[in-house]
RNA sequence: CGGGACGUAGCGCAGUUUGGCUAGCGCGCUUGGUUCGGGACCAAGAGGUCGCGGGUUCAAAUCCCGCCGUCCCGACCA
């Protein structure tokens, strides 16, 4: 490509509305433009990156034996009613009507469609297993699109669905996808962490997410600094010592605490009760049942761990009616009519302080097992940085991350609802066992930039760079203004350009009539992995100037060796970013 | 959906508090000339329903009311 013929609208200044690096740089480097909140155009450069990621995904899916199809983006609403998701996903569904007022949806995901396909086309165990995938635009009416390409209303996604005869088959399909995902992200030059993920309200059996650590992430993950334990914070558990056994306290005793409403208040004089000596009493409605939840004062509840399909905090009036006090003075001592669930770390705790169910009053000398009727002991905590790894002696760290991939064991939820059955060897009809596997292709592009940039711009991995090589001739005065470039080194630049193209290297020749500074800045901003400067000055120093965008390494090579040197540099750049799958 | 900020030329901004504007500045763009290794310089020029609608006023970018859009925090996130 000749730059003068391209459409690469780089911006000199940071766009006002872009805060995170990927958003800012994708706009500035001229890869994308925003049309509306959460809706973007991919310009030629951005589309090249998107297509490269897409192609890597396609190759690895094909290699894993998955079969590519293209399903419609327009879905009949009735299909979604059959699985109940027209209601449960109502808020994110884009609804459209045709001329006869028939209702359609723009697909946010394709379980309903692919299962309908399987139900119609797969009838025998002999046809299984099958894995069907597509790379397609998804539509979700996100309540709050944000962070550039990270959370949008319309995005490119690879979604695959496996169909197996039994759980063992599902395990194999799941593992195959897991491995394929590691290859995909490795080839994209992006470092991902695979974490255990929350299975969700539908109770799927197993789920992993592929995460890119980034401050711009919307998820939080906990990671061990010693072993490979890593989990989404929704799912993460930690090893925390329970209270050391100690002698029983004296009898429970009330004491006045006027104005005290928080754990923090009680830690201050005159009370001086450390947060980990306090019991935090939360009141939740779990599946319509008012329930007390007990946590240590220095711990946070993780709602995803609650043993209920529907959970919400109780309203103050509900609490007052049940316990006779308002939040700030609640406790479970003597409560027997309501279910009490306590976090594991409270087991055996003695000499604790908690609310007395009387405003402005607390109770001390509370021995949890002696004084509180605990119905269930569960892990309810949100893991915090510094807590122990559940698997080894390491320490957990909590970090923000972007979810770029998700593998999920579905089971028979959709196959049962939509009649996707097969006949087994004995002629019995059974629902197919399904798994689903998603990769946010456009989100991956953003995640790569989040991970690969510096103060000057993007540092694309070779495998997904819009162009791998940027060739910059520094044009001497006498040839500017339309005159034919006829000096020797410009012919050499043209020759290298042709040779690289012959080798199928993606190369862009910056033939713009601009000053060198402009070209250098743009090349750094866009982040081509290898830059080659052809100029009189470089030739005087020994040849063409090769510069590696990531390492900054510069070399001067004689023109006859330039082609090989560029190829070597690319290979080197590729190896630097290579991430070996575990 | 709650809270906050913003909306003025293609981009980034000033002007709004205290109404007087025939709306400025930088970058970019056009033309001519000079320049050429890290976003050059000089000169001339084009480009704006001041987000939209209504109101107050002799007079509104500026004050008032309503709406829309965008971003940030939160809620939400198969």
DSSP string, A475-524: --GGG-TTPPP-SHHHHHHHHHHHHHHHTT--EEE---SS-HHHHHHHHH
% of chain A surpassing 90 pLDDT: 73
Q: Over chain A, what is the mean pLDDT?
A: 91
Determine whether the distance from the CB of A512 to the nearest atom of strand B is below 7 Å. no
Angle between helices A441-451 and A21-28 (to 10 degrees): 100
d(C-alpha A555, C-alpha A42), whole Å = 34
Contact A553, A547 (CB under 8 A): yes
Query: Which residues in range 383-402 of chain A are in contact with strand B, contact meaning CB within 7 A of any of its atoms?
Result: none
Write the CA distances from A104 to A76, A89, A307, A417, integer angstroms. 5, 14, 36, 20
Look-up: residue for tokens 């469609």?
A: A113
Tokens of A363: 């109770």
Write the CA distances from A576 to A374, A397, A444, integer angstroms. 55, 26, 20
Look-up: residue for tokens 């609650």?
A: A306
Instruction: Kindly report the bases of strand B lying within 7 A of a protein C-beta atom.
Output: 1-2, 6, 11-13, 26-28, 33, 35-40, 69-78
Determine whether the distance from the CB of A203 to the nearest atom of strand B is below 7 Å. no
| Phi, psi (degrees; rounded to nearest 5) at A11 | -115, 140
Looking at the predicted structure, is the pLDDT value of residue A480 above 50?
Answer: no
Determine whether the distance from the CB of A310 to the nearest atom of strand B is below 7 Å. no
Any residues with CB less than 8 A from the CB of A582 and at least 6 apart, and which?
Answer: A182, A228
What is the Cα gyration radius of chain A? 30
CA count, 13 A, side-chain hemisphere, A163: 29
Determine whether the distance from the CB of A477 to the nearest atom of strand B is below 7 Å. yes
State whether ipTM is beyond 0.90: yes
* Three-class SS state of A413: helix
What is the predicted pLDDT for the residue at A168?
Answer: 96
% of chain A surpassing 70 pLDDT: 95
- Examine residue A129 and say whether the peptide bond preceding it is cis (omega within 30 degrees of 0): yes
The per-type count for chain A, helices as H runs and strands as E runs, is 15, 31
Looking at the predicted structure, is the pLDDT value of residue A256 above 70?
Answer: yes
What is the predicted pLDDT for the residue at A487?
Answer: 66
d(C-alpha A311, C-alpha A131), whole Å = 35
What is the predicted pLDDT for the residue at A430?
Answer: 97
In this predicted structure, which of A256-265, A420-429, A523-532, A542-551 has the lowest mean pLDDT? A256-265
Could you tell me the pLDDT band of residue A581, with boundaries at 50, 70 and 90? very low
pLDDT 10s digits, A166-224: 999 999 999 999 999 999 999 999 999 999 998 765 556 789 999 999 998 999 999 99
What is the predicted pLDDT for the residue at A316?
Answer: 80
Determine whether the distance from the CB of A46 to the nearest atom of strand B is below 7 Å. no
Which range of A25-29, A309-313, A376-380 scores highest in mean pLDDT? It is A25-29
pTM of the model: 0.93
Mean pLDDT for the stretch of residues A476-498: 69
Spatial distance from the CA of A557 to the C1' of B16 (Å): 60
Determine whether the distance from the CB of A538 to the nearest atom of strand B is below 7 Å. yes
Angle between helices A441-451 and A44-63 (to 10 degrees): 110
What is the predicted pLDDT for the residue at A276?
Answer: 87
Determine whether the distance from the CB of A361 to the nearest atom of strand B is below 7 Å. no
Spatial distance from the CA of A508 to the C1' of B8 (Å): 38
pLDDT 10s digits, A82-100: 999 999 999 999 999 999 9
In this predicted structure, which of A198-212, A437-451, A460-474 has the lowest mean pLDDT? A198-212
In this predicted structure, which of A98-102, A135-139, A388-392, A573-577 has the lowest mean pLDDT? A573-577
CA count, 13 A, side-chain hemisphere, A334: 14
Nucleotide nearest to A198 (CA to C1'): B78
Mean pLDDT for the stretch of residues A19-41: 95
Looking at the predicted structure, is the pLDDT value of residue A579 above 60?
Answer: no
Nucleotide nearest to A516 (CA to C1'): B37
Look-up: residue for tokens 């982040």?
A: A527
Nucleotide nearest to A109 (CA to C1'): B78
What is the predicted pLDDT for the residue at A486?
Answer: 56
Spatial distance from the CA of A41 to the C1' of B7 (Å): 22
What is the predicted pLDDT for the residue at A201?
Answer: 52
Spatial distance from the CA of A451 to the C1' of B1 (Å): 33
pLDDT 10s digits, A317-375: 888 888 888 888 888 888 888 899 999 889 888 899 999 998 889 999 999 999 999 99
Looking at the predicted structure, is the pLDDT value of residue A245 above 80?
Answer: no
Tokens of A320: 């007052």
Could you tell me the pLDDT band of residue A262, with boundaries at 50, 70 and 90? confident
> Does residue A360 or residue A503 have the better pLDDT?
A503
For chain A, the distance separating the N- and C-terminal CA atoms, rounded to the nearest angstrom, is 38
pLDDT 10s digits, A375-430: 999 989 999 999 999 999 999 999 999 999 999 999 999 999 999 999 999 999 99
What is the predicted pLDDT for the residue at A259?
Answer: 84
* Residue A484 CB coordination number (10 Å): 6
What is the predicted pLDDT for the residue at A158?
Answer: 98
């Amino acid at each position: 490509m000749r730059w003068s013929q391209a459409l690469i609208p780089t911006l000199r200044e940071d766009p006002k509305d872009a805060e995170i690096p990927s958003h800012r740089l994708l706009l500035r480097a001229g890869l994308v433009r925003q049309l509306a909140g959460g809706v973007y155009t991919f310009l030629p450069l951005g589309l090249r990156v998107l297509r490269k990621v897409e192609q890597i995904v396609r190759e690895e899916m094909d290699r894993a034996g998955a079969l590519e199809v293209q399903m419609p983006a327009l879905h009949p609403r009735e299909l979604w009613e059959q699985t109940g998701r027209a209601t449960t996903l109502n808020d994110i569904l884009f609804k459209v009507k045709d001329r006869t007022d028939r209702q359609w949806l723009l697909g946010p995901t394709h379980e309903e469609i692919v299962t309908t396909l399987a139900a119609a086309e797969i009838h025998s165990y002999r046809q299984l297993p099958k894995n069907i995938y597509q790379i397609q635009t998804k539509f979700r009416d996100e309540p709050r699109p944000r962070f550039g390409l990270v959370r949008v209303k319309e995005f490119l996604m690879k979604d695959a669905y496996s169909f197996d005869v039994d759980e063992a088959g599902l395990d194999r399909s799941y593992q195959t996808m897991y491995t394929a995902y590691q290859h995909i992200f490795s080839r994209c030059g992006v470092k991902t962490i695979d974490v255990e993920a929350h299975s969700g309200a539908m109770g799927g059996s197993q789920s992993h997410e592929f995460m890119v650590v980034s401050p711009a992430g919307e998820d939080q993950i906990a990671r061990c600094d010693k072993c490979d334990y890593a989990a989404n914070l929704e799912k993460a558990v930690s090893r925390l010592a329970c209270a050391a056994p100690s002698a029983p306290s004296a009898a429970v005793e009330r004491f006045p605490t006027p104005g005290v409403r928080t754990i923090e208040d009680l830690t201050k004089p005159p009370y001086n009760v450390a947060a980990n000596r306090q019991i935090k009493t939360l009141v939740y409605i779990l599946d319509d049942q008012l329930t007390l939840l007990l946590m240590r004062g220095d711990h946070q509840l993780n709602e995803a761990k609650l043993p209920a399909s529907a959970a919400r905090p109780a309203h103050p009036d509900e609490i007052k009616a049940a316990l006779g006090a308002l939040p700030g003075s609640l406790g479970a001592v003597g409560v027997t009519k309501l279910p009490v669930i306590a976090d594991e770390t409270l087991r055996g705790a003695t000499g604790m302080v908690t609310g007395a169910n009387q405003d402005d009053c607390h109770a001390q000398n509370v021995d949890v097992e002696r004084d509180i009727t605990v119905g269930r002991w569960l892990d309810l905590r949100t893991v915090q940085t510094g807590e122990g790894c559940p698997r080894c002696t390491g320490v957990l760290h909590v970090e923000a991350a972007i979810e770029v991939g998700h593998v999920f064991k579905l089971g028979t939820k959709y196959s049962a609802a939509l009649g996707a059955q097969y006949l087994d060897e004995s002629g019995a009809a059974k629902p197919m066992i399904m798994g689903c596997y998603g990769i946010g292709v456009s989100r991956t592009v953003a995640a790569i930039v989040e991970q690969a940039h510096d103060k000057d711009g993007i540092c694309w991995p070779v495998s997904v760079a819009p162009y791998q090589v940027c060739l910059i001739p520094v044009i001497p005065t006498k040839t500017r203004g339309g005159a034919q470039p006829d000096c020797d080194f410009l012919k050499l630049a043209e020759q290298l350009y042709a040779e690289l193209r012959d080798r199928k290297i993606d190369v862009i020749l910056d033939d713009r009539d601009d000053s060198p500074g402009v070209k250098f800045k743009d090349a750094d901003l866009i982040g081509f992995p290898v830059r080659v400067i052809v100029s009189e000055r470089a030739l005087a120093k020994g040849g063409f100037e090769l510069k590696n965008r990531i390492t900054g390494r510069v070399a001067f090579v004689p023109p006859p060796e330039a082609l090989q040197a560029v190829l070597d540099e690319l290979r080197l750049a590729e190896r630097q970013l290579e991430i070996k799958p575990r």
